[in-house]
Amino acid sequence: MKKLTAILSCLLMMISAVQIPQNASAVYDKTVTFANFDRSINGGEPIRGADISSIIALEESGVVFHNDTDYEEDDIFRILADHGVNYIRVRVWNQPSDDNGNSYGGGHNDVDTACEIGRRASQYGMKLLVDFHYSDFWADPEKQRTPKAWANYTSDEKGSAIYYYTLESLQKIRDAGADIGMVQVGNETNGVMCGEDDMYTICKMMKAGCNAVEDFDSSILKVLHFADPSSGLYPWYAKVLNECEVNYDVFATSYYPYWHGTTDNLTSVLKNIADTYDKYVMVAETAYPYTDEDGDKFANVISSTSSGSTFRYEISVDGQAECFTDVFQAVANVGTKGIGAFYWEPAWIGDYNASWTEQKERWAKHGSGWATSYASEYGEDVSEAGGSSYDNQALFNFWGYPLDSLNVYSRIYPQQYVYDDADSVTLASGMYEIKNQNSGYYLSYDENGNIIQSESPVQWHLVNQAGSYTLMTVNNQYLTIVSDASDGKNAVRLGDSAQEFQIAKNQNQTYLFMTDEKTCLDIFDGSTWAGSWATYGKALRSESQQFVLNCISEDVIETEPETKPEKHIKGDVHHDNDINLTDVVLLHKYLINQASLSQEQAESADMNQDGVINIYDWILLKKQIFSRR
């Protein structure tokens, strides 16, 4: 019995070591569409973001992640990209270590760490938001400490330091291979930043940071970040920023639904700022628990028993998915200025099978927990090493398997369209009218050869070239991609050389005109105005790239007239259209080898149609002639 008990115990340990995702019951699958999304933002796709700032330290601590295809270990960046994430956010601290190089923890997010995260994100086509805290450790509404190296600076000197630090850091991160799309100047700066607590002084420092971003690359979006839209302070923050002429692009908020009010209020607050000051808005941080359990033996920041918290969703995988979806919907409801959301630390888990002692050793050695004991010299709220207090809010379970809530990203539209063979079509060559599904206008061209959309229908000659297609005007000029633009869009004009397109069919019976599997013909910025130019860029599941084809007439295929074999009269060996004694004589000569017959003559001489010409055919021919007399 003891032996059996030991065996069962061993089996249970083996089973607990390999955990398939605990989310079989999750069924929440609502989609969110950002209508008329601004094409100048992120190539026309809403920001589907994830802040995984702690990931390098986690991997160094032995944390692994698995895909949900074959449940094998996989690169976290690949997993996120495969689920629809298109943006990675990374926090940056000035010097998150003591003078001896001992890490403060929290992911040890210095510039070098940001370089590595940005490089790996770009390998899977994800852009990077660089989140400068302008502190050596955590900066949030409770603390905004000045970096140690700037401790004795005046506010003006801090502004100058922010400018040069931002400029130099961005250059280093880009040189590492990151695709920087946004830069955040300060983190959760609710009236405090870099040790300063006067909003007008803070605005000067924000301007310095924004100027650095502008001077580095004016195409990068400049983000300012605040926390708690339910505080009632956002209108004042935005008013002061406007008074101080801070040249930012995006007003971002943290929104943790158990602390920060309803999603309706979130929409209302963000829409007010977007409409009043013509700024883009987004959620820079959000999260929600899927369980009350603790995965790394370090207390969680939130659970169903937490005081001062309001839970509007179930604490479950479904509840987490519904909450995250509603956050996207709240931003989409703002209108064209709402651009997306980031989930905060969706992969910050520990090693579930490690002991408390083992976990503490890894937090201290690799800085993978929220803090190490070394951080106590910089922050009075740190006494010893700690782990992740957000592992019950991750989008992966404690063993690193994706939860169904990670699939929320894949249901946020519009998205990049990737060509599938199943979408291919076969169209007959002919004359077609091509209408933009979004605007209702027709694909046309102006007197300068620019491809535009117009109210009046224009006929295009679509020619099927063995599976690819060309489009030609009645004047025999082709619709052609003529040049690359710095913004990633291409000019589309009439030209003399044929441009071949693949045509993909959508489920709603509209069509995409593509030159490869990721780019297609489009109307500039999704315009609904007549005269708007056509461009060529990232293929999206978007109406302004979807065209309706109306076939006016199919090409008439000219074919050679069918040549029918000439019919000859049986017995007319001479082929002179008469049967007489000359035919008898010719056949006789043939039989005695004094004449030859062509194949056609031999067919006429084969009177009994047995395939052989002999004396019997000669006799039958004679009978036929004499019977006619």
Which residue type sits at 118? G
By DSSP bridging, strand 502-505 and strand 511-514 are antiparallel
Distance from C-alpha of 330 to C-alpha of 273, rounded to nearest angstrom: 14
**Strand 47-51 to strand 338-344: parallel, antiparallel, or no bridges (unpaired)?**
parallel
∠ CA 186-190-192, rounded to 5°: 70
Q: Does 384 qualify as catalytic in the annotation?
A: no
CB of 463 within 8 A of CB of 590?
Answer: no
Position 316: which residue type? S
* Torsion angle, alpha carbons of 583, 587, 616, 621, to 10: 0
36 burial (CB, 10 Å; 0-12 / 13-18 / 19+) is: middle
Cβ neighbours around 299 below 10 Å, total? 10
3-state helix, strand, coil in the chain (%, to 5): 30, 20, 45
How would you classify the pairing of strands 459-465 and 451-454?
Answer: unpaired
CA pair distance 228, 501, nearest whole angstrom: 49
Residue in 188, 196, 345, 543 annotated catalytic: 188
Phi-psi region of 571 (alpha: psi -120 to 50; beta: other; left: phi over 0): left
Q: Could you please report the per-residue DSSP string of 394-433? A: SSB-TTSPBPGGGGGGGGEES-B----GGGB----SEEEE
How many Cβ atoms are within 10 Å of 407's Cβ, its own excluded? Answer: 18
Is there a catalytic annotation at residue 285? yes
H/E element, 356: helix 356-366
Strands (E), 134-220: 180-185
Please give the Cα distance from 149 to 530 (Å, whole number).
Answer: 57
CB half-sphere exposure, 370, CA atoms < 13 A: 20
E strands of 191-279, at which residues?
221-227, 250-254
- Residue of 196, 285, 345, 543 marked active site: 285
SS (H, E, C) 263-306: HHHHHHHHHHHHHHHCCEEEEEECCCCCCCCCCCCCCCCCCCCC
CA dihedral 352, 358, 361, 366 (to 10 degrees): -40
Q: How many CB atoms lie within 10 A of CB 598?
A: 10
- Neighbouring CB atoms inside 10 A of 8's CB total 10
**Residues annotated as catalytic (active site), given as ranges:** 188, 285
